[in-house]
Amino acid sequence: MSTPAADRTILVVNVNTSAEVTETIRRSAAAAVSAGTRVVALTPRFGPASVESNYESHLSAVGVLDAVQRHDGPFDAVVHAGFGEVGREALQDVLTVPVVDITEAAAHTACLLGRTYGVVTSLTRAAPAIHDRLLLSGLAGRCVGIRAVDRPVLELDADPESTAKGFVTEAQALVDDHGAEVVLLGCAGMAGVTEAVQAALPVPVVDGVAAAARLAESLVGLGLSTSKARSYAAPQPKPILGWPLR
Amino acid sequence: MSTPAADRTILVVNVNTSAEVTETIRRSAAAAVSAGTRVVALTPRFGPASVESNYESHLSAVGVLDAVQRHDGPFDAVVHAGFGEVGREALQDVLTVPVVDITEAAAHTACLLGRTYGVVTSLTRAAPAIHDRLLLSGLAGRCVGIRAVDRPVLELDADPESTAKGFVTEAQALVDDHGAEVVLLGCAGMAGVTEAVQAALPVPVVDGVAAAARLAESLVGLGLSTSKARSYAAPQPKPILGWPLR
Amino acid sequence: MSTPAADRTILVVNVNTSAEVTETIRRSAAAAVSAGTRVVALTPRFGPASVESNYESHLSAVGVLDAVQRHDGPFDAVVHAGFGEVGREALQDVLTVPVVDITEAAAHTACLLGRTYGVVTSLTRAAPAIHDRLLLSGLAGRCVGIRAVDRPVLELDADPESTAKGFVTEAQALVDDHGAEVVLLGCAGMAGVTEAVQAALPVPVVDGVAAAARLAESLVGLGLSTSKARSYAAPQPKPILGWPLR
Amino acid sequence: MSTPAADRTILVVNVNTSAEVTETIRRSAAAAVSAGTRVVALTPRFGPASVESNYESHLSAVGVLDAVQRHDGPFDAVVHAGFGEVGREALQDVLTVPVVDITEAAAHTACLLGRTYGVVTSLTRAAPAIHDRLLLSGLAGRCVGIRAVDRPVLELDADPESTAKGFVTEAQALVDDHGAEVVLLGCAGMAGVTEAVQAALPVPVVDGVAAAARLAESLVGLGLSTSKARSYAAPQPKPILGWPLR
Amino acid sequence: MSTPAADRTILVVNVNTSAEVTETIRRSAAAAVSAGTRVVALTPRFGPASVESNYESHLSAVGVLDAVQRHDGPFDAVVHAGFGEVGREALQDVLTVPVVDITEAAAHTACLLGRTYGVVTSLTRAAPAIHDRLLLSGLAGRCVGIRAVDRPVLELDADPESTAKGFVTEAQALVDDHGAEVVLLGCAGMAGVTEAVQAALPVPVVDGVAAAARLAESLVGLGLSTSKARSYAAPQPKPILGWPLR
Amino acid sequence: MSTPAADRTILVVNVNTSAEVTETIRRSAAAAVSAGTRVVALTPRFGPASVESNYESHLSAVGVLDAVQRHDGPFDAVVHAGFGEVGREALQDVLTVPVVDITEAAAHTACLLGRTYGVVTSLTRAAPAIHDRLLLSGLAGRCVGIRAVDRPVLELDADPESTAKGFVTEAQALVDDHGAEVVLLGCAGMAGVTEAVQAALPVPVVDGVAAAARLAESLVGLGLSTSKARSYAAPQPKPILGWPLR
């Protein structure tokens, strides 16, 4: 059933238009997959510089669709690299390869490691959208809390040490006060921070991009892909007026 | 607390780019609101001719955002007229007036009329997205089933009599076999069909557009609007690269 | 579908036997409905001076039934004006017009305004009964907390300023500590307090009586009424021994 | 902790005003308790001849309160003998002895015997009220279905053999088609029927009156009673206008 | 339906290999049942000295099976006396008499006494396993918290006064901060402690062993036993390699 | 973060004592992991020839513990290869490497591929135990049904073609009648059958052993292991009387 890893390409799509964030995401994903699996990271051509609201999340969904649909070259799976963002289902409709959302990948992975988990994200206002995705996944009941460092996404990289410190404080509170047995880092592009947070914490720390890239590779390795039977059936061909996507 | 109905405008936004559907929706909404409340219906400038998949739903969300953001003239509330479609939360972020989704409006209304409800929609593949929105609303537990007539949205109008017959058959099955006490018509633009279905059924039939328009008007009348405290806070101003929306 | 507002009468039934509370409730309801809709408020002929326990709640249910069944004159909808009290289902059985419970009306309204809500009520001991009604409605999952000012209902009016202050303190705690995006005032007869609480809070404040009156009017406007198909079918005629109700 | 059974009296209160039904209920309860425990059965002075709707259920709740409050003589526990009826919480407020509802007693008992259970009741329209009580108890998730023989309560006794046959048919369907491992008889006053149904079925059959009487006796034996800390605290003394109850 | 209590024997099986704990459990059970019902307590021949982890819980399950299968003499019901431990289902498969788990017995009993309950147990690490059993029972939604005194099981008896004080502190916190209306003592062998905790608390305190013994006796009295229809059907006879159990 | 696959050994533990089943399981696992990852399959020294009841499941849990604890040689992760069986948590307590249960692995994998899934297993009586594990995982809400071919585990291999046909029939019913978008094969040792069922079905088919082996390898690759913070902390050293396990 297993196919040679060397033939595999995982497309990892950033949700914002920052090439720097895309590169961080690419590095997380590349470090997570097996030797021989290629990671290609995409930046949307249009959309918000960072995604921190429902408004930006919905804009980013079509930026991500556009990026994937314009991508030239074969790929075996797609990672939707926005934590708590909408859009995974849209990709599943138009593709036949597996699509893995980093929020869901992180939560599924956490549930294999501990009975409960908590999430640390950037802004308090991001928590509800994250919670919605966890509710739909079925795994919200195992989430003991979502806490925020309350720094905008684009400032997280400015002072990584202080950022890591903020994440450690919130993560430790999830462990001590809420009984979290695993902590998810609720942002994409946290490669450097993940290691620092893991070093400081007594519980496993899951980076969604790494988890999603590895799960995507696993699905390919297992010869499995998105079910096209109902929810994610291919859309009927129909006129799409004035739209830049192909 | 109540302000004169005559000062009110409800913006009703179609999710597809069919002007005919927009006009049907407008009529449903206009018939539902109080005398003196004005209904203005918008058609997105771009997007799919009909919305019947997750892919089309996500495209439509930005078409709807664009239509509302470009609209010239005052309005007091917005109705998001896509049954089971994404996008309501994005509108809530950028507006300060109430935003009412027709799926949710129909379900909330049904729950005031009966202990359980069922939904009849166009295509089987639309059911999962409808169910997701009901799950997030909290009202999925009172939904006894979602059935489909299995006709594409754009064909529903072609033969209204046969369409109505299809809806009656599925609705009656929800009542008889699943214990539905109320039936929701799970499509926008069903004005003519609603009456025919209601005439044939022993339970209340709720048209989402009518329910949403009336609820939107009610929220305005009560002096209430979307909470901007957390989930739907205004996005931070930030660069949005290459985007046609203002 | 819409009928002229001028023809409509909404019956609003207090659950306790205090005529002063009935008058406050009447004013809330009258301020909430459209011009032309008439509000008639009823006080039960018998029952407790205030309803603050399960015992009193069950007594009040028959007082409310009696008041409605004895009422002379046409009406188009009924508002059951007890927050967290039992009895709405009994009214639905014997009537053919819509019946709206203020607890449920407030919760449904809140869910159109924010992703979560909290409730401030009079006494801690009232919270469980409120929670039961929210559980049955499906909307308990969106309720982040029910807090009490711990003042008996009949003292709330004695010092409105201090009462308002108490409600503001608890409401603010719901917003700050529990993430409430909307606050419900969990008592009937809070007309004066509502405005003061709303003025002090950064989130929408919903008064159940106002919300219920407006929703009742909306259902009438939409031509919708209680489903008589199953849960709320008319009772079979049968001897009712020694009962003062007709 | 255990007190001599001989000192114990269990009050079993019928919800309707039929003395025949009260006697059947009494026999079920008396057969279920230990030797030495006395069962006293009460018939409300007023109320419906049978309880088959929400309207009748709410009337019966005060008839039951009246019967218990007027009862002269000591008692150690109360059984509220209406399947799916409201009122148990009201009794708990005004008493200091345990109060056991037959719906809940049957469901708790069933959950000690099997992983799932189903309910057979008299009328389809009774199912929603039964389901509401199961929802509040937490045990609805283990209920695989509620089916009805669709005969009025007062006709069940007329032809016991045919009644038993009807219950067996529905019970067998719950076992075969829904995976019920235990069946509850969802009416009070089924003493004769219970045996016949049990004889015909391959799974345990629980009679609510028997289960409740025995559980009530057990709580007394364990020295346990209703918590008065919050939900069921004694009501504050206050004027109750024009009420026939003491 | 009721059989003479004098004929009944309840087997109560300790989960650890401490004969002292078995004797304490026996006393709790014997004090809880009716006069004439005999309690026989068993200690497993092998297994951990105390059960405080999943590892020990699974070992204990087979020790309990072995003890029951080797027991010589008739019995009418079995109490599985490990709080939060696995194994009840295995006993149900191989027996035809009722099997009652003390965790579940305590929770079902609590739900007849109050709307909510909390649990005080020995170690924080025991809480998740307790919660799992409550989740499967359906009653986790009524549990407001599980707190621990953080003393190993085998030290609880060493200083009963200090142990009771620890339980009272945590139980009071459940009542005051979490709204618990009933408190469960989440360990077996707490006979002495139960009385002291009950004396200090304003809410009912449930000892699982006492509750289970009484419920087991009640099931026998009602002529009810485990359903053998599906989940707990007798295993097919088959070779069991190298196993000490008969 | 990624370590060379060549250094990895995945221990896959059969739950029954059939060496043939162990070999089939080994082949499934070996085919699923990356080149360079070694799979070692273990057969318990004692326990039932097949695991098809709660009784056998609990016996098997200690057989599995014994097999893993006696295993000589390094390993990086463990797969618990019993579908719907207990015991995963016990392994997690005593190990520091990841432990993956095949039931959970299959369900988590399915949730990445479709919105809903169904399970086909051997015997109807196995369904409840499978459902319990899905309930605890959080993913039962996405499971639309568990159906059985009603053949004992040890006969599945006897006539693989007929077995495959049985699985296809039930799987197709899950897709057609219940809306399953993914199908799980709810037995270990189905290597041959998986391919045949996948070939015949229009939706992805997940084999639990393959999914678990691949997920286990992924966790190792990500440098993640079981949280030892709370639920799965190492047991305190203590006397374990007369036990064959080390």
Per-residue model confidence as pLDDT tens digits over A154-208 = 787 778 888 899 999 999 999 999 999 999 999 887 767 899 999 999 999 999 9
Q: Does F128 touch chain D (CB under 8 A)?
A: yes
pLDDT for position C188? 82
Per-residue model confidence as pLDDT tens digits over A87-113 = 999 999 999 999 999 999 999 999 999
Whether residues C62 and C20 fall in one domain:
yes
Question: In A, which residues are within 8 Å of C203 by CB distance?
Answer: none
Distance to chain B for F134, nearest Cα, Å: 19
Whether residues D60 and D117 fall in one domain:
no
Q: Does A177 touch chain E (CB under 8 A)?
A: no
How far from chain centre, in Å, is Cα E121? Answer: 12
Residue C227 CB neighbours (<10 A): 24
Report whether pLDDT(E2) > 50.
Answer: no
Whether residues A81 and A20 fall in one domain:
yes
pLDDT for position A239? 87
- Nearest C-alpha in F relative to D181: F128
Lowest mean pLDDT among B221-230, C5-14, D92-101, E219-228: C5-14
Instruction: Provide the pLDDT confidence category of residue C1 given band limits of 50, 70 and 90.
Output: very low
Question: In C, which residues are within 8 Å of A127 by CB distance?
Answer: 179
Instruction: Provide the pLDDT confidence category of residue A2 given band limits of 50, 70 and 90.
Output: very low
pLDDT for position F245? 58
Question: In D, which residues are within 8 Å of E224 by CB distance?
Answer: 109, 113, 204, 206
Task: Tell whether B243 is covered by a domain.
Answer: no
Per-residue model confidence as pLDDT tens digits over A77-88 = 999 999 999 999
pLDDT for position B1? 40
Helix D127-137, helix D102-113: angle, nearest 10: 70
Q: Does B70 touch chain D (CB under 8 A)?
A: no
From CA B185, how far away is CA E107, in angstroms rounded?
43
Reading the block at residue B91, the tokens are 């509108």
Interface contact flag, C206 B224, Cβ < 8 Å: yes
Task: Tell whether D80 is covered by a domain.
Answer: yes
From CA C103, how far away is CA C108, in angstroms rounded?
9
From CA E208, how far away is CA E83, in angstroms rounded?
8
Q: Please tell me which of the candidates E32, E206, E215 has its beta carbon nearest to residue D112.
A: E215
Question: In D, which residues are within 8 Å of F128 by CB distance?
Answer: 115-116
Reading the block at residue D49, the tokens are 């001849």
Per-residue model confidence as pLDDT tens digits over B171-198 = 999 999 999 999 999 988 776 789 999 9
Q: In the structure, do chain D and chain E come into contact, i.e. share 3 or more CB pairs under 8 Å? A: yes
Per-residue model confidence as pLDDT tens digits over F92-116 = 999 999 999 999 999 999 999 999 9
Task: Tell whether B227 is covered by a domain.
Answer: no
* Chain E interface test: which of D218, D226, D231, D232 (most E C-beta within 10 Å): D218
Q: Does C115 touch chain A (CB under 8 A)?
A: yes
> Counting one residue from C and one from D, how many pairs have CB atoms under 8 Å apart?
140
Report whether pLDDT(E186) > 70.
Answer: yes
Task: Tell whether A138 is covered by a domain.
Answer: yes
Distance to chain E for D49, nearest Cα, Å: 28
pLDDT for position A59? 96
Report whether pLDDT(B246) > 60.
Answer: no
Whether residues C75 and C111 fall in one domain:
no
Top pLDDT among B189 and B2 is at B189
Task: Tell whether B237 is covered by a domain.
Answer: no
Q: Which H, E and C letters describe A156-218, residue by residue? A: HCCCHHHHHHHHHHHHHHHHHHHCCCCEEEECCCCHHHHHHHHHHCCCCEEEHHHHHHHHHHH
Whether residues E90 and E153 fall in one domain:
no
Q: Does C100 touch chain B (CB under 8 A)?
A: yes
Domain that holds residue C162: 103-209
Lowest mean pLDDT among A129-133, B235-239, C150-154: C150-154
Whether residues A175 and A214 fall in one domain:
no
Mean pLDDT of C73-101: 98
Whether residues A145 and A23 fall in one domain:
no
Q: Does D140 touch chain C (CB under 8 A)?
A: no
Task: Tell whether E52 is covered by a domain.
Answer: yes
Question: In A, which residues are within 8 Å of F191 by CB distance?
Answer: none
Distance to chain A for E132, nearest Cα, Å: 10
Distance to chain F for E50, nearest Cα, Å: 8
Q: Does A128 touch chain C (CB under 8 A)?
A: yes
> Counting one residue from A and one from F, how many pairs have CB atoms under 8 Å apart?
156
Contacts of A58 (CB under 8 A, 6+ apart): A86, B58, B61, B62, B65, B86, B87, B89, B90
Whether residues F53 and F123 fall in one domain:
no
Interface contact flag, A100 F112, Cβ < 8 Å: yes
User: What value, to the nearest 5°, has the Cα angle with vertex E213 and ends E207 and E216?
Assistant: 135
Instruction: Provide the pLDDT confidence category of residue C2 given band limits of 50, 70 and 90.
Output: very low
Whether residues A192 and A113 fall in one domain:
yes
Per-residue model confidence as pLDDT tens digits over D34-85 = 998 999 999 999 999 999 999 999 999 999 999 999 999 999 999 999 999 9
pLDDT for position A4? 52
Tokens 């691949």 sit at which residue? F214
Looking up residue E217, the CATH number of its domain turns out to be 3.40.50.12500
Question: In C, which residues are within 8 Å of D232 by CB distance?
Answer: 54
Top pLDDT among B157 and C175 is at C175
Reading the block at residue B105, the tokens are 């409006």
Whether residues E201 and E131 fall in one domain:
yes
pLDDT for position D245? 58
DSSP string over A132-164? HHHHHHT-GGGEEEEEE----HHHHTTSHHHHH
User: What value, to the nearest 5°, has the Cα angle with vertex A138 and ends A132 and A144?
Assistant: 70
Whether residues B70 and B157 fall in one domain:
no
What SS3 state is found at E44?
Answer: coil
Distance to chain B for C138, nearest Cα, Å: 5
Task: Tell whether D150 is covered by a domain.
Answer: yes
Interface contact flag, E210 D1, Cβ < 8 Å: yes
Lowest mean pLDDT among D26-35, E125-134, E188-197, F142-151: E188-197
pLDDT for position D72? 94
Q: Please tell me which of the candidates A47, A235, A238 has its beta carbon nearest to residue B240.
A: A47
pLDDT for position A1? 40
From CA D86, how far away is CA D83, in angstroms rounded?
9
Rounded alpha-carbon distances, angstroms, from residue F104 to D73, D170, F136: 58, 35, 10
What share of chain E has pLDDT > 70, as a percent? 96
Task: Give chain B's mean pLDDT.
Answer: 93
Q: In the structure, do chain F and chain E come into contact, i.e. share 3 or more CB pairs under 8 Å? A: yes
Asked if residues D29 and D41 have their Cβ atoms less than 8 Å apart, the reply is yes
Question: In D, which residues are within 8 Å of E142 by CB distance?
Answer: 138
Task: Tell whether E245 is covered by a domain.
Answer: no
Instruction: Provide the pLDDT confidence category of residue F213 given band limits of 50, 70 and 90.
Output: very high
pLDDT for position D2? 45
- Nearest C-alpha in B relative to A17: B241
Q: In the structure, do chain E and chain B come into contact, i.e. share 3 or more CB pairs under 8 Å? A: no
Q: Does B128 touch chain F (CB under 8 A)?
A: yes
Question: In F, which residues are within 8 Å of A218 by CB distance?
Answer: 214-215, 217-218
Per-residue model confidence as pLDDT tens digits over B9-52 = 999 999 999 999 999 999 999 999 999 899 999 999 999 999 99
Q: In the structure, do chain D and chain A come into contact, i.e. share 3 or more CB pairs under 8 Å? A: no
pLDDT for position B2? 45
pLDDT for position B241? 85
Question: In A, which residues are within 8 Å of F96 by CB distance?
Answer: none
Question: In B, which residues are within 8 Å of F179 by CB distance?
Answer: 127
Report whether pLDDT(A152) > 50.
Answer: yes
Report whether pLDDT(F132) > 90.
Answer: yes
Mean pLDDT of A229-243: 90
Q: Does B115 touch chain C (CB under 8 A)?
A: yes
Contacts of C40 (CB under 8 A, 6+ apart): C9, C10, C11, C12, C26, C71, C73, C75
What domain count does chain D have? 2
**Residues in chain D, pLDDT under 50:** 1-3
pLDDT for position F1? 40
Whether residues F136 and F72 fall in one domain:
no
Reading the block at residue B53, the tokens are 């998949």
Rounded alpha-carbon distances, angstroms, from residue C41 to C67, C126, C211, D45, E203: 10, 24, 15, 31, 41
Question: In A, which residues are within 8 Å of B53 by CB distance?
Answer: 93, 233-236
